[in-house]
Amino acid sequence: MATETLEKLREIFPGRYALRADEVALVLKGRDTRGVVQRVREGMKTGRYPGARKIDGHWQLPLDALGEIVDPKPVATPVVPSTSTTAAPSKTGRRRSAIGPRLTFIREAVFWSQVFRGLGFGDEARELDEQAQTMRDEGNQARALERARERRARLMGLPHLGERMIPDAPSKGGGL
């Protein structure tokens, strides 16, 4: 969970350790109508919201657990070498990262080069290592180009770009 999410929740609800079902409904769904609150309460009862407890006859959810629901930690998945050369289309319709396939190839190449070395195929292992290093170098070049573009965009946004800018120099207006 991102710490800023938890900090924001603590800022919104100062001095609170846990929230009632109506407050959780407001945070998660954006409204606290009777039906939404009832669904959240049912979710607390059934375990949909882990960490929810019944305290003094009211269902409550700790801020830490709510922060985890709002902004979950990424789950590390094991790298499994793929046998296909093309990636399957995304079922969620989200745009894929440009570096994702490159990173996957690098991880798989390192794994398989270790396997080849263990089996005694040194030439194939070296070839995979070289391909992985080439991909890393291409990625480093792409990141450097992107940083240069960002720097240039920031510089172009500066006022009086054509004039020489001296920090802490008095203004031309003659004031203090």
User: In sequence order, which ranges of the chain are alpha helices (DSSP H)?
Assistant: 3-12, 21-29, 34-46, 63-70, 100-119, 122-156
Based on the number of CB atoms within 10 Å of its own CB, is 70 exposed (0-12), middle (13-18) or buried (19 or more)? middle
**What are the phi and psi torsion angles at 60 (to 5°)?**
-135, 150
Q: What is the pLDDT of residues 122-153, one digit of tens each?
A: 888 888 888 888 888 877 777 778 877 877 77
Residue 35 has pLDDT above 70, yes or no: yes
**Count of CA atoms in the C-beta half-sphere (13 A) of 105:** 20
Q: Are 36 and 30 in contact (CB under 8 A)?
A: no
pTM: 0.42
